Every structure is written in C-alpha cells, then in structure tokens.
Amino acid sequence: MDRGGGGGDASVAALLLPSAPMAYAVVTDPGTVDTPDMPSYQPYVYGRLDPLR
C-alpha cells in the first residue's frame, strides 16, 4: 500500500521518534516495588500471565 507522500513524510516520521532515552528494568522481587495499598496492575509480575504467549 502506497500512501503517495511528498517530501514532508520524513519530517512527520521524525516527529514520531522518541526524544528522550528509554529504560526498562527487570523486577525479580515485586514486593520491593509494590506498596501494600496499591499492588502491581501487571498480572505477569506475579506469574499469573505469561506475556510471551
């Protein structure tokens, strides 16, 4: 599928790129980052869901 763009396509695509570095962490013990009042909303942190399936 061709959108048939002009010279402005590259500048629009550049606006969609992140402007800050992104970092991710692997949490091996969810209890260290969760509070008792507000547990993690991500079910795979507790092993209830396999995110790679």
Kindly report, residue by residue over 2-34, the tens digit of the pLDDT.
555 555 677 888 888 888 888 888 878 777 766
Indicate the pTM of the whole model: 0.26
Assigned domain for 38 exists = yes
Confidence band of 41 (pLDDT split at 50, 70, 90)? low
Contact 30, 40 (CB under 8 A): yes
Contact 30, 45 (CB under 8 A): yes
What is the pLDDT, as a whole number, of residue 52? Answer: 61
Which domain covers residue 52, as residue numbers?
Answer: 23-53
What is the pLDDT, as a whole number, of residue 24? Answer: 82
- Residue appearing with tokens 């010279």: 7
Q: How many beta carbons lie within 10 A of that of residue 25, not counting itself?
A: 6
Q: How many folded domains does the chain comprise?
A: 1
Assigned domain for 4 exists = no
What is the pLDDT, as a whole number, of residue 1? Answer: 47
Average pLDDT over residues 24-51: 65
Assigned domain for 33 exists = yes
